[in-house]
Amino acid sequence: MELANTITRENLEILMRLFYEKALLDDEIGTFFELELGSDTSNGEWTEHIDLLVDFWASQFLGEEQYKGDPFGPHFTIIGLEEKDFNRWVELFSESSDNVYTPEISHLFKEKGVHYSKAFMQALNENKNSKDLKNLKSKIGWE
C-alpha cells in the first residue's frame, strides 16, 4: 500500500481499522476492546465505534464537526485501565499511522496520540476523586 501524504476520511478509516485490528489481537490491551465491543471488527458495535473515531480524527485534522461524542466518559467505566495500557495504545497507534501515512503526517498522529493518552490518564486518575467531568475536561484543556 502506498503511504498517504494527505489526511482524508477514507484513510482515517483505514487507520482506525488497522489500529483496532492490531489492538484487538494485542496481549496487553486486546481484552479491553474485546470485552467492550466483541472480537469481530465487522459487527455493528465495532462499525459504529470506528465511524465515531473517524469523525473524531476528522474533527482534529480536517476541521469537520460531525464528532459529537464524549471521548472521556466511556473510558471511566472500563475497570483496570492503567498507564501501561495507554502507553501500549500509543505504540500500536504509532505503528498503525506509520503503515498508512508518510512520516511527516504519521508524526502528527503520534503527537496527538501521546497528547490524548496523557490527557486520558490524567482524567482517569482525577476521576477517582471527582465526578465532575465538565470541570475535569476544562482542567486538561479538552473544551
Beta bridge partners of 101: 4
* Average pLDDT over every residue of 40-67: 93
Nine cell digits for residue 63? 476541521
Residue 101 in contact with residue 7, Cβ under 8 Å? yes
9-139: CATH architecture: Orthogonal Bundle (1.10)
Amino acid sitting at position 131: K
The number of residues making up the chain comes to 143
The candidate with the shortest Cα–Cα distance to 16, out of 113, 83, 86, is 113
Residue of higher predicted confidence among 71 and 102? 102
What integer pLDDT is reported at residue 62 of this predicted model?
Answer: 96
Amino acid sitting at position 99: N
Average pLDDT, the chain: 85
What integer pLDDT is reported at residue 88 of this predicted model?
Answer: 93
Helix axes 103-127, 83-100, angle to 10 degrees: 160
* Average pLDDT over every residue of 9-15: 98
pLDDT over threshold 50, residue 68: yes
Residue 41 in contact with residue 20, Cβ under 8 Å? yes
pLDDT level of residue 81 (50, 70, 90 thresholds): confident
